[in-house]
Structure 1
Amino acid sequence: MPRTDRAARLIAAPPTDVYTALVDRDALEAWLPPDGMRGRIEHWDPRPGGGFRMTLTYLDPAHSPGKSSAGTDVVDVRLTALVPPERVVQQAEFTSDDPAYAGTMTMTWQLTATFGGTEVTVTATGVPPGISQADHETGIASSLANLAAHVETRAPREAD
């Protein structure tokens, strides 16, 4: 049965700033990789129907075997919906010889303006069974923390 994983975080920045970080190549490379990884985008086509390929490299591959090679995860992401500044929908497929990581996972990034900033909710559906729910939700939460740090440090500050 397909699984759904979720995580959410309040980010102290307006939805337009958060949305921009979701669709900017340099920003994605900076914040999307969870703790313990770094990322590099190899292909970039930021439009509905377009997408990107990201190689995620484990900083310590001895304790984190990759899905694509001993120390990497390669993911092809198709952008299926871009609704500024409310939502980004991605379909992700890992490059792997292991069938436990096969299939298309849909990631929906929902942005809701709220007092104090933007509530960002990430919903992942069709998660491959080889990805543990606990690890996946921890990874999403880590990416959300990175996103918050990235956007909040760039948000204009109000005068005291």
Structure 2
Amino acid sequence: MSNTIQLHRVFSAPPERVYKAFLDPNALVKWMAPHGFTAQVQHLDACVGGTYKMSFTNFSTGTCHSFGGTYQELIPNQRIRYTDQFDDPNLQGEIEMLIELKAVMVGTEVTITQSGIPAVIPTEACYLGWQESLQLLALLVNPNIPDQ
């Protein structure tokens, strides 16, 4: 049995900047790991059929969880669909990720659907982690810093 969560946020950034933040390895390590974790991207090939591998490490305990997947659909500045699968045998199953971006008057509306979450992971923990990550994403993408 698995779980599904859905999140919705509006960022003041344009869709191009938000889209890039989901596919740029340097951006991902800055925002994706929830509070108390660090992130590392081992590889990322952002094309349909391309794969990625990354890990989150608990800063307090040093425990590391690695995961990876395959990009299934990439529509620039509109949609990202990919899979996630943990390397930990206790977290079996394939997670489906769908990120939908929509240009709105004030920036970008983002809807994230994560389905197939292993039942051993509480949905509340997923929501908490994503809320923290999306706060960090806002800090990265919302500022419009001109070139010097």
Shared fold (TM-score greater than 0.5)? Answer: yes
1:68-147 → structure 2 map (5 Å cutoff): 71-98=63-90, 101-147=91-137
Q: Does 1:2 align with 2:2?
A: yes
Q: How far is 1:115 from its partner? A: 2.1
Q: What is residue 28 of structure 2 aligned with on the other side?
A: 28
Q: Give the unaligned 5+ runs of structure 2.
A: none
1:55 to 1:152, Cα distance in 2 relative to 1, 3 A: same
RMSD between aligned alpha carbons? 1.5
| Alignment match, 1:66 | none
CA distance in 2, matches of 1:115, 1:35: 30
User: Which residues of 2 match residues 6-17 of structure 1 at below 5 A?
Assistant: 6-17=6-17
SS of the equivalent of 1:3 reads strand
SS in 1 for 2:68: strand
Residues 92 and 105 in structure 1, CA contact (< 8 A), matched pair in contact too: yes
TM-score by length of 1: 0.85
Moved over 2 A (4+): none
* Aligned-residue identity in percent: 30
Q: Counterpart of 1:82 in 2: which secondary structure? A: strand
- The residue type paired with residue 80 of structure 1 is Q
Question: Which amino acid in structure 2 is aligned with residue 103 of structure 1?
Answer: G
The separation in 1 between residues aligned to 2:11 and 2:69, in whole angstroms, is: 24
Higher strand fraction: Structure 1 or Structure 2?
Answer: 2
TM-fit CA distance, 1:77: 2.2
